[in-house]
Amino acid sequence: MTQLNPEQNHSDTCSCDTCSQSRFRSKTAWASLFALVGLLLGTFGVYEMIGISGTQYETIVEMLLSCMVAFGILNNPTSKNSF
């Protein structure tokens, strides 16, 4: 991995590893985007229109967050072969 040089100008034309990573390939960015969409749908009452009550919505969100916590605990960022 290329170390960032504080004196180097990092612009759109920079080719270092840090600047050339695409945000569209980031799993974290996609997860946060899907979470935002889910929150917006809940805010505008879309879930209630399709028959999911507030209690059911909270239960589903809690289950998803629990799974995400479990994956975060089991994550091994030092290995490229594991999640």
Tell me the per-residue pLDDT of 9-34, one tens digit each, with 9 for 90 and over.
555 556 666 555 676 777 777 888 88
- What is the reported pLDDT for 5? 54
User: From CA 58, how far away is CA 49, in angstroms rounded?
Assistant: 16
As a whole number, the mean pLDDT across the chain is 75
Q: Which ranges of 1-83 would DSSP assign to H, the alpha helix?
A: 17-20, 27-43, 46-49, 54-74
What's the one-letter identity of residue 9?
N
Cβ 43 vs Cβ 54: under 8 Å: no
Give yes or no for residue 83 having a pLDDT over 60. no
